[in-house]
Structure 1
Amino acid sequence: MIKALVEGAKKTDLVLEDPLPFVLVKSLDDFYVNYELNVYTKNPDQSAKIYSSLHENIKNELHAAGIEILSPHYQAVRDGNVLTVPPENIPDGYVQPGFKFENNR
């Protein structure tokens, strides 16, 4: 995850290479890890454009790494279905997980 965030930042126009982008793990919340990506720019007047490109690059890097972007609004039963990333971003050799059911009666 951290590598994908940093790589996305490095591919973003107007984000400086020095100092390098870095990630802080801010907290471990109920259903997710809260990350903070820190980048530097000499063009704060273009922050809307930078944020848009940064988010697009992060999304692409996460998909390329086979990392799903989910939210509390997304519900799924992992019954052997494929990852929720574009098919071209599913890692080579990915095996769909099976659905497990245990009857403890």
Structure 2
Amino acid sequence: AASRPPLAGYLFVCPPEHFKSGRGFFAWPECPWFWSLDPSGISPLTPQTAQRFGFPEVKQRREVWGRRWDTSVYEGLRRLHAANGFDPDSQDIAKHLGFTLMEVAG
């Protein structure tokens, strides 16, 4: 039996501000992500429908930890990146280091 090609789907993730509930406080939105068959995301799929179509399950993981350095460290990194030909306000250094980039839609 010939298999049909997989459906094109789009994963939509809430913008970061939807996770923030106040200064230093974060909350998990009711629907942090959803799959849709249309690129606009107007018609979200239920998790059950997305699973039937074969889209990967999105797993939720919450982990809170943080570290902070003195402001001078960040300024030093900006100068180091600029001295090496990278725009410190861009994703250039991340691209150069091979990190996976996320594109913000909308």
TM range (shorter): under 0.3
Question: What TM-score, normalized to structure 2?
Answer: 0.27
Which structure would you say has the larger RCO, counting Cα contacts within 8 Å and 6 or more residues apart?
Answer: 1
Which of the two has higher C-alpha Rg?
A: 2
Question: What TM-score, normalized to structure 1?
Answer: 0.27
**Larger % of helix: which?**
1
